[in-house]
A and B are shown apart, each in its own frame.
Chain A
């Protein structure tokens, strides 16, 4: 398929429309992140800084989850960066499509997230892949940050977050992020293992550590079981 034929105006419009759709849908979660951030004890500025500069949803939710559970901020950061490690591999898989250098690489790197990678890799033509990456990354970035601010302001207006069930909302948000990854017996086993070990560690270790411990044991079990197949 030649570049010119594949990247015609119709194909380009379709990619831009898909990208904006993903941007709107993903951006909307930002409201829940913002609200949960300020009800977890962060202020509006801290919550918005996470969305602006960390800009990777699951990691941001992990940070506020650990901090809300009483964990040290550094423990939150470690959990969050571990979850962000998948972006390293996203970058690897789309580097050859994007072919970025210098300032454009520095800017583009910030937009390497689940959604932009998925849209870029879904295109057969690299030119459309680049188009999808930039449109998805930029639209998610703009909407995610606007909605974080809205949610953060709404969160500060709420009294006791438990009265609104917001502590349950955080658990539901994690489950929602986990769900699409449970596409086989191995990931299901790993997720259950992580949950069981983490719950078992809660009474015996400081806050925050059960998450890292559960995650580590689960990945080790997953590698052992996976290697035997």
Chain B
């Protein structure tokens, strides 16, 4: 059900963008909100993914993995090796 909603919703947004007359979405506040939505949501997703342990907050190997990811991103390491390095860091800490 959630998957169907996701697929339909994501496609409708894409078609709407190609079909809607420009005026409707020209408003400056709308434009700013749309550029900020991915940033706010991704920030929230990072925090929940790394810190949430069910209904609790927990600091564990995931945070170390994220630290490694941040360093590699700052060094402009590409996406895939960066993700693999983060996973390896957490896996090694759990041995």
Chain A interface residues toward B at CB < 8 A: 25, 28-29, 31-32, 42, 46, 49-50, 53-56, 58-63, 65, 67, 69-70, 72-77, 79-92, 94-95, 98, 100, 105-106, 108-110, 112, 162-179, 181-182, 186-187, 190-199, 202-203, 207, 210-219, 222-223, 226-227
Contact = CB atoms under 8 A, between A and B. Distances in A.
A100 B90 CA distance: 47
In order of increasing CB-CB distance, the 3 nearest A-B pairs are: A91-B17, A73-B2, A168-B65
Contact of B7 (A54, A164, A170, A192): A54
Q: Is the interface of B mostly helix, strand, loop or mixed?
A: helix
Interface residues of B, number: 70
B32 A223 contact: yes
Interface of B: 1-3, 5-7, 9-11, 13-20, 22, 25, 29, 31-52, 54-57, 61-62, 64-66, 68-70, 73, 78-80, 82-92, 94
A121 to B, nearest CB: 13
Given A190-B36, A194-B41, A171 B9 contact: no
21 contacts: A25-B78, A25-B79, A90-B14, A92-B20, A95-B19, A106-B15, A165-B61, A171-B62, A171-B69, A172-B69, A186-B36, A190-B40, A192-B43, A194-B47, A195-B47, A199-B52, A202-B52, A214-B40, A215-B40, A219-B33, A222-B40
A88 B73 CA distance: 28
Contacts, number: 321
A171 B10 contact: no
Given A53-B11, A187-B36, A218-B44, A98 B18 contact: yes
A165 B7 contact: no
A2 B38 CA distance: 37
